Amino acid sequence: MKFSKVFLSSSFAVLAFLSVLTYSAHAKFYGMDELVDRSIKVSQDLKLMDEDIERAQEELKVAKTAYWPKLSLQGNLGVDLFSLGSFELDRNAGSNLILDWNFFQNGWVTYRIEQAKAQVEISRLHRQSRELELAYQMKVLICEALQKEAELNLQLEEFQLIEKTREKAQVELRQERLRRADFLKTQVQFFDHKNLLEKLKREYQKLLQKLKERSDLSDMEGIDNPLGEEEQNPLSKEVLIDKALLHRVEIREAEIQWDLSRKAVKVAKLGRWPRLDLFAGNAFALDDLEREGDSFQFRTGVIARYPLYDGGEIKLQISLAEMAERKAQFQWKEAKRRVSEEVEEAYDEWMNAKVNLESGMQEKNFIQEEVGKAEAEFKKDRLSPYEWEEAQLNLKRSELRLLALRLEVWKAKARLAKGVGVGSH
């Protein structure tokens, strides 16, 4: 009687556990593409990066205004120290209207504009890189959740088989055809598997919660199966590496920095040339407002600054600029090398995953044939119901392994897509 109570209470616990995993009729499922798009749309990181792009664009607008002359109004109040006693405000206060135009600055104005343009492009590249990373992380998380869900479902079926074995042991114990020690072993197996189910359920719910948070979909209860057929004629490794060398953010950013460094060398060498400023202005006192004549005539001039002797500063600037150019060129080459190695490694991982998937499909086909034979034996009463269920469970185990292998292919493919750097998903 004592064992019966334990059996009934644990059975009710299993039923409650199964009911938690049963989806309602209004359960909402989302596919991989939808979840990836949603995670990108609600990402706070990308919103902050959009603000960085806008700020860089505003800085570019300001940099372009350096082409235009500057107009300023300057006020002054002067005092003649030798005639303090006869100080009059209207004769000692005045103002200057100044027009200043740096129309030749040895390329510095153009270079600063190029720097601002480069910063806009780099900000966009950083956003693109982050978007690719978010898409990749989301795909991996979805694959892990699908794999955990499949594992949980398989363990549920195995648990049901264990429960039937336990029921059989319960009957045999009552009929005194089974020792109590053997029955306790089935009890231990039952509760161990129940604990395993609870552990898998917690892990699955944790993954599902991460997906909800990253996609901001609180009503999500599951994931649509996103796995389609692999393309029959995938691009070769060499073609994918070439695409990565054209599109990867690291290479494009390094190329921009290298181009800027070459322009910086040219600007530094122009430092030996004179700088020209156009100056125009008019100075007048307050009492000039009551006079007639040329009080408001502008006086203009060109100011040339030629570096006769600078203590070696220009030579040092040229040397530093050339050193920065060599460093930028090295970083560009290193970025290309790293990207090539990363894409090659990701491609090999993808190919190996596809080979493993093919082996898994052959294994599943073999087990399926064995299950067909077992079914024929079961219909002829040559196989017990327990053995028949065990054979069916073996087929489901092979299907789980096949799903895991297919998910590994998808994760490897997602990593390869991120490595190539084309598209967000």
Terminal CA-to-CA distance of the chain, rounded, Å? 60
Measured CA to CA, the distance from residue 294 to residue 53 in angstroms comes to: 50
Q: What percent of the chain has pLDDT over 90?
A: 42
Residue 15: predicted pLDDT: 46
Provide the token pair at 3. Answer: 């064992």
Residue 390: predicted pLDDT: 86
| pLDDT interval class at 167 (50, 70, 90) | confident
pLDDT tens figures, 43-61: 999 999 999 999 999 999 9
Measured CA to CA, the distance from residue 197 to residue 14 in angstroms comes to: 10
| pLDDT interval class at 186 (50, 70, 90) | confident
Provide the token pair at 50. Answer: 């959009």
Phi then psi for residue 78, to 5 deg, are -110, 150
| pLDDT interval class at 287 (50, 70, 90) | very low
201 has a pLDDT exceeding 80: yes
| pLDDT interval class at 382 (50, 70, 90) | confident
Residue 76: predicted pLDDT: 58
Q: How many residues does the chain have?
A: 425
Measured CA to CA, the distance from residue 408 to residue 425 in angstroms comes to: 17
Are 157 and 392 in contact by the 8 Å Cβ rule? The answer is no
| pLDDT interval class at 204 (50, 70, 90) | very high
Q: What is the pTM of this model?
A: 0.75
Provide the token pair at 368. Answer: 């399926």
CA distances, 151 to each of 144, 350, 395 (Å): 10, 23, 14
Residue 351: predicted pLDDT: 94
Measured CA to CA, the distance from residue 195 to residue 187 in angstroms comes to: 12
Residue 175: predicted pLDDT: 83
Residue 253: predicted pLDDT: 95
Which of 97-101, 105-109, 386-390 bottoms out in mean pLDDT, i.e. has the lowest? 97-101
Q: What is the DSSP string of 275-306?
A: EEEEEEEEEEEGGGGG--SSTT--EEEEEEE-
Residue type, 139: K
Local structure of residue 67 (DSSP, 8 states): G
The stretch 97-106 carries a mean pLDDT of 61
